[in-house]
Structure 1
């Protein structure tokens, strides 16, 4: 059983890691994911013990980060949310008033620094400003938590008081509180920025009840119900337009600025925005099955699939703080004990600085926020990446393999020529071929059926059989008909002469005799040539095309698009074999781009499987690691560019976080560091790293 919770008020990346670690060790728990970027806690465990598991997890959350609000996702009313936001706002105001009072008392203590009563003023100021830090550290001590940043900050400031550095101790808690406040605001602002980009969840649906419209939750609408979408409203569920016409803004899902015109009889996807007309829609899927629900689920769970960099940083953070604390203890004790002329005051002060910068917050916040921003930027461009791990994998791709039909070409096949032989007329050939293809959903079959304008009585078709990779066969009104490629004809030993014309050739045999062929043509997408050029500009060394089409057609498309290698006349299993051959060429990483329906084995084998035209396609969303929501192959180049930019900024954050802390270490040993500088190395760098991560959203 899986339950999801929102953890409101969690702004500490280190705390998020602790929650995930502790909750994951509970009995009857299979898996816990604390997604810091989305403030989402996912618990997977025994259904029988779920209630007790949830209670224990809530206790852990409150222990690690007191004051956070844990609510079950999709089960909190707006009234409850408003109430909690008011409580949080009141708490923030109280905190600011208390800090203002502490600052006034601090200024008074500085003014009367030489007076005997200045020490009580410093102490009052310290407790007024650092109340939250001190209370949290006391609770941590009682629980045996000695590596918490609040405890470390308290020890550092108490040490400063012990050596008479009263102003320094107060400035540390003041700057820490100010830094934490701005860090919280930066984290919340970042979350909101990304959430706004992916704000495709419909708030309500106008359900038609008799002659009236009733505003209801999309969850309460069933398949077959009639809904009305007015201008300016989001389409809440997938369905078919039964009345009206309009233009739709599809940017939230596809990243496209151009409007899409729809009218009666068209299918419509949830998440689009209705611009001008009133649309009456018959619902074809309930909300949980709708495109917008699947996409939201994919986006919200994407951050749970962590990149290798995130995992390494989380592991590093677990050892970093204890190591620094040991170093601080040795710094405070060893030099004064082992070296002549060294005072404890000097080295305790240095040790206190080490304690202040020992918190790994900048690292554990900036890395997941960076990847989450990368996922948000991809989504903004109509590209759904299923996790930070796949975003990172995109940066290592040097070989891209494309399927042809529906990926590089439009997949809108049209009949170009019909040639009957051995006494078979064009009309007779088209009729029998249409009948035998009538049970197939392949684009080529549909184009033939479309060309045949007569009604097809499927009752006349018996013993239908799909011969994988070759074609179809059946009895049509008692007549044996086989239709497909040349390999199908060879299987039944039907002699058919060579066809020199370019196109996809569909051969037909009637009662075991060759009856003729139909030439089908497919148009290359306008975007395909640009896609190949952009990929090569992104340092993709090898672009390959795999297709079941005949060699002449495939080579023509390959030459037109400047593709490096073309493999044609392949069965589905042959595509996997070709991909395996490419892996033997010592490539770094391979992406396969297909329609997500017929190419599942190849999508699964590739380092990154990319499905084209994912809007409304459940199979595409399920099969691939990356889903391009429209039909533009050039979006893959955009995804790779965003992935590389994300990794660049994440590495920059790591370098900045570790580099500045090391610099403060060195300066401290050279007697050039201060606790003020240490606070910047901790809270200041955390805030800068979060803000730096948000630059990815501009991609």
Structure 2
């Protein structure tokens, strides 16, 4: 039998997996499936299990989660104090995303993998001002000092959290070197003939010096590694630090024991002077090299989030507000919708809005990725973060704060950077068994060397077993995917390609069919009325009625008709009972007359008489690629209106490149067969389908998917939203509607098909980079572990020192990050 229950308290995929595990361990349960999005648990059981059993299991786990019947009113269980929502300012997350979107209030290390938590890049930049004479005066907007009256000046930006982490590790690194180098010199000096150090005092006393110098490294500069190792063992989240902690811990404790109780050790463990071979130098050198790896990672992490920081820098901190002709400098956080803003030459545009007076050229390259400035004049839209040219203009603020395009881009990039690609699931499965297998290999290595190795057998066994533990690097595997995703998403944003999540990156590389709409996707989306043909009545009167009906529609064709009517001074009238019929047209009443405007499907639906009398004229226009709408009054056709929409110059180039890459390009449009055929022929499309309603587009995509095709859908209208959501990859034109953008996995800011080529190239490059990272990580561990175990010794007499193993391990994860950073130089 199968039952469904509500679950409260889950915040991330890690929570979902944990709840699934707890419930599956309840006696009598055969299968559990927990949905994070629906907050539901579907539990299969042989016989009915009382819900109290599940409640007890969750309560014993700590009470963070609650279970109830579907009709229960449930409150969220109390969360850990350290956990908060993703993307909040001042929060910290794991760079390997072990627990999905889970974030923490304080810096520290991940409870799963042990890596240093990384601070979220704040999604809002706040300018602060201070008095040059009274630095204790700090405020968020410009003004004057309340003490001395001087103008406040912007404060210098403080160091980022990554810099603080790096500086903290750098300080510990210097201190580690201060103690590690002397230990290393003392230990290696044994190889020098007539060792000068032994002339000062005996080796047993130098061993005490090594011990004393090792203490600050073990218990201060690198103590965090042992803390992480212990935490990983008690929580059984085995990771890199488990191996480091066991390996260096064994070496350190062995050395102390050997120094204090040498008589308990066999002869093969002793030097000619009767002291035991100690490994204080291996302990401190290994720990210091691991610390070096952490230091280099901290530096590299700051570069992986560089794209978000560069986007944040686009937003200015101030704006010039115009009130009653008087200009005043204010913080951008004080701008409200409807405010009049003056943008001066060379300034960054503070918010999204419309130019009300003046004109200029705007550099939009930081948003669209296109280097050529765009001419803007009155009534044109401008976006925050773009840079004004050499002229000044006035604009009205329409979108402020989080509503601006720049803010949405930053949020989307941040969210996508912290999402998980499906390929990561393979890595997770490997990582789950990685550490236990390495520990097992280390034990086997010890046993084999102890039984079959040369004398001193136990020394060889111990050293090689430790080397195996030290060289293994699960974090290189864990970082392989998220680092590439983070850098790739940022690179896309800088080129006008906004990616919603990592899954979209992976799937975009697999697509073999692109479905595209016509208007606003293949064409400019800026239709204009070519002519109106009226068979009965006054042309101006009919045009006025057409425009009046279209005032209520958001379709681009409607706006074209309204603008045309205004240019002809046609009178607009009040419309009643307006109705938009998706894929067909619009209807409404003006002075008790029913006005119908649309395609032949609407005419048939409304039982309009004699509309076929003018069909030959309409077909002739459609064959030229025009869009034609019939005009009917009181169920009688009175004429038609012809609209043109130029094909985008980039469409032909983009389609040619996509087809070269093996992608079929198919147009699904609500337009008529003749117009669609003309456009498809001009663009050399793989196929097309005309007169499509939203449900037709949806069905067409489902049919392709049933045949095993990976389908991408590009569109910009409300009627495209269902198809965008159904497609494996929905691609919205940034020039389109908010609904389309919300339904899509990828948004193209500029809104043309060349953006799809960029997205495809980016996807290919990111997936290639991820596979390189995974290959290097797998090969590194596959080769490094056997070498550390001593597989080369029988053939070449080569062994791997634990210190060399530590150096290799430290640089393995750094190399993964550096390889991911290469994506920043990618040319799309």
- Structure 1 length normalisation: TM-score? 0.85
Cα distance, 1:548 vs structure 2: 1.1
Question: Cα deviations across residues 173-223 of structure 1 (Å, max 9, x unaligned)?
Answer: 333233332232222233336632664344333344666655444333221
Q: Which residue does the alignment assign to 2:668?
A: 546
Question: Which deviates further from its counterpart, 217-226 or 154-163?
Answer: 154-163
Deviation, structure 1 residue 172: 2.3
Which residue of 1 is the match for residue 69 of structure 2? none
**Structure 2 partner of 1:430:** 543
Equivalent residue number for residue 597 of structure 1? 718
Corresponding residue for residue 815 of structure 2: 688
Deviation, 1:374, is 1.1
- The 5 A counterparts of 1:344-363 are 344-363=458-477
Q: In the TM superposition, what is the alpha-carbon distance from 1:248 to its structure 2 partner?
A: 1.4
Please report how far the alpha carbon of residue 258 of structure 1 lies from its aligned counterpart in structure 2 after TM superposition: 0.9
Cα 1:457–1:24 change in 2 (3 A) is: farther
> Does 2:683 match 1:561?
yes
Distance 1:73 1:58 in 2: 18
Q: Cα offset for 1:341?
A: 7.4
Range with bigger deviation, 395-404 or 502-511: 502-511
Tell me what 1:451 maps to: 564
Structure 2 vs 1, CA of residues 62 and 545 (structure 1 numbering), >3 Å: closer, same or farther? Answer: closer
User: Which of 78, 87, 99 lines up with 1:28 in the alignment?
Assistant: 78
Alignment counterpart, residue 158 of structure 2, candidates 58, 66, 82 = 82
Higher mean alpha-carbon deviation, 524-533 vs 199-208, is at 199-208
| Distance in 2 (alpha carbons) for counterparts of 1:584 and 1:66 | 44
Cα distance between partner residues in 2 of 1:143 and 1:371: 28
> Deviation of residue 546 (structure 1)?
0.3
1:394 counterpart = 2:508: yes
Alignment deviations for residues 540-564 of structure 1 (CA, whole Å, 9 cap, x no partner): 1x21100111111111111111111
Q: 1:144 & 1:150 partners in 2: Cα distance?
A: 8
1:232 matched to 2:346? The reply is yes
Task: Give the one of 366, 385, 390 matched to 2:480.
Answer: 366
1:640 corresponding residue in structure 2: 760
Aligned to 2:133: none
Cα deviation digits, residues 633-685 of structure 1 (max 9, x gap): 11101111111111111111111011012112222332333324422442111
Gaps of 5+ in 1: 5-21, 45-52
Taking the TM superposition and a 5 Å limit, the aligned residue runs for 1:57-456 are 82=158, 91-92=168-169, 94-106=171-183, 108-110=185-187, 112-113=189-190, 114=195, 115=198, 116=203, 117-132=205-220, 134-140=222-228, 143=231, 145=233, 147=238, 149-150=240-241, 152-160=243-251, 162=254, 163-192=277-306, 195-196=309-310, 199-208=313-322, 213-333=327-447, 336=450, 343-421=457-535, 423-424=536-537, 426-452=539-565, 453-455=567-569
- How many residue pairs were aligned? 669
Could you tell me how far 1:477 is from its partner in structure 2? Answer: 3.3
Structure 1, 567-576 or 86-95: larger mean CA deviation = 86-95
1:203-260 CA deviation, whole Å, 9 max, x = no partner?
A: 3333446666554443332212233333333222122223343221111111111112
Give, in whole Å, the separation in 1 of the partners of 2:544 and 2:232: 82
Candidates 655, 660, 665, aligned match of 1:532: 655
Q: Give the counterpart of 1:484 among 582, 594, 598.
A: 598
How large is the Cα RMSD of the aligned pairs? Answer: 3.7
Task: Give the distance between the partners of 1:447 and 1:232, measured in 2 at CA.
Answer: 34
Report the Cα distance in structure 2 between the residues aligned to 1:691 and 1:224, rounded to whole angstroms: 46
Report which stretch shifted further, 87-96 or 518-527. Answer: 87-96
Q: Which runs of 5+ in 2 are unaligned?
A: 1-7, 12-60, 66-76, 87-91, 129-154, 255-276
Q: Deviations over 1:587-617 (max 9, x none)?
A: 1x100000053311100100010011348x5
Counterpart Cα distance in 2 of 1:536 and 1:568: 21
**What is the alpha-carbon distance in structure 1 between the residues aligned to residue 121 and residue 659 of structure 2?**
48
1:134 CA displacement: 4.4
1:576–1:601 Cα contact (<8 Å) kept: yes
CA distance in 2, matches of 1:91, 1:248: 43
Q: Does 1:675 align with 2:802?
A: yes
Q: Which residue of 1 aligns with 2:707?
A: 585
Q: Does the 8 Å CA contact 1:130/1:174 hold for their aligned counterparts?
A: no
8 A contact 2:527–2:560 mirrored in 1 = yes
Task: Check the 8 A contact 2:595/2:633 in 1, yes or no.
Answer: yes
Q: Distance in 1 between matches of 2:63 and 2:293?
A: 30
- Matched-pair contact (CA < 8 Å) for 1:204–1:217: yes
Between the aligned partners of 2:494 and 2:507, the Cα distance in structure 1 is: 20
Structure 2 partner of 1:607: 728
More deviation in 147-156 or 249-258?
A: 147-156
Report the Cα offset of residue 390 of structure 1. 0.7
Between the two structures, name the one with larger relative contact order (CA 8 Å, sep ≥ 6). 1
Cα deviation digits, residues 453-477 of structure 1 (max 9, x gap): 3455554433333233222223333
Residues 90 and 212 (structure 1 numbering): CA distance in 2 closer, same or farther, change over 3 Å? Answer: farther
Distance apart, 1:630 and its partner CA:
0.4
Q: Is 462-471 or 292-301 further displaced after alignment?
A: 462-471
Change (3 A) 1:552 1:133: same
Aligned partners of 1:37, 1:142: CA distance in 2, in Å?
Answer: 21
SS state at 1:653 partner? helix
2:644 corresponds to:
521
Q: Distance between the aligned counterparts of 1:70 and 1:394, measured in 2?
A: 27
Q: Which moved more, 1:35-44 or 1:438-447?
A: 35-44
Matched residues in 1 for 2:451 and 2:819: separation?
Answer: 44
Q: 1:140 to 1:481 in 2, by over 3 A?
A: closer
SS at match of 1:355: helix
Counterpart secondary structure, 1:316: helix
Partner of 1:16: none
Do 1:464 and 1:472's aligned partners in 2 also have CA atoms closer than 8 Å? Answer: yes
Residue 146 (structure 2) aligns with: none
The structural deviation recorded for 1:77 is 8.7
Q: Secondary structure, in 3 states, of the residue corresponding to 1:506?
A: strand
Q: Is the 8 A contact 1:597 1:623 kept in 2?
A: no
Aligned to 2:45: none
CA change 1:226–1:154 in 2 (3 A) is: same
Structure 1 CA distance, aligned partners of 2:250 and 2:240?
15
**Quick one: distance in 2 between partners of 1:647 and 1:552?**
41
Say yes or no: does 1:471 pair with 2:572. no
What per-residue deviation string (whole Å, max 9, x for no partner) do you get for residues 105-134 of structure 1?
A: 246415743522432343345445555564
Alpha-carbon distance in structure 1 between the residues aligned to 2:189 and 2:109:
45
Name the SS for the 2:628 alignment partner: strand
Structure 1 contact 133–154 (Cα < 8 Å) conserved: no
Q: C-alpha distance in 1, partners of 2:326/2:575? A: 46
Moved more, 564-573 or 226-235: 226-235
Task: Measure how far apart 1:337 and its partner are.
Answer: 5.3
CA contact (8 A) 2:718 2:740 kept: yes
Moved more, 500-509 or 211-220: 211-220
- Kept in 2, the 8 Å contact 1:224–1:282? The answer is yes
Contact kept in structure 2, 1:251 and 1:257, CA below 8 Å: yes
Q: Which residue of 1 aligns with 2:825?
A: 698
Residues 461 and 151 (structure 1 numbering): CA distance in 2 closer, same or farther, change over 3 Å?
closer
Q: Is the 8 A contact 1:235 1:270 kept in 2?
A: yes
1:657 aligned residue: 777
Deviation (angstroms), 1:295: 1.8
1:183·1:687 contact (CA, 8 Å) conserved in 2?
A: yes
